[in-house]
Amino acid sequence: MPTKLSNEIITAAIEGFESQKAQIDAQIAELRQMLSGRPAETAVAPEPAKRKRRGMSAAGRARIAEAQRKRWAESKKPQAAPAAAKPKRKLSAAGRRAIVAAAKKRWAAKRAEATK
């Protein structure tokens, strides 16, 4: 029956195994030194150097800030009212009667088709 492991448990397990690996690597290095009689290189690779972060000049920051202020001011301007919408079209009584008559005619044809 497998159990669900949380991320914290998995992270702790990884850290524990890494520390055990470091201890084992140190013991292997000691044994190799005893074999050869000279200091051996450690099997653990050194941490890669982190890349240097790029900086930004004060002038560059000022240009970015000014551009953001312009965008902010543009978004805060009152919006122009949209053009008045066209009034809704209304169906005339004659048009409605024509639609009703056409629907009745279609249903009558469908019923006649079904009775055949």
Q: What are 4-28's pLDDT values in tens digits?
A: 778 888 888 899 999 999 999 999 9
Domain segments of the chain as ranges = 1-44
Q: What is the pLDDT of residues 46-85, one digit of tens each?
A: 677 788 888 899 999 999 999 999 999 999 988 877 778 8
The residue among 58, 25, 56 whose CA lies nearest residue 42 is 25
What's the CA gap between 38 and 32, in Å, rounded? Answer: 9
End-to-end CA distance of the chain: 66
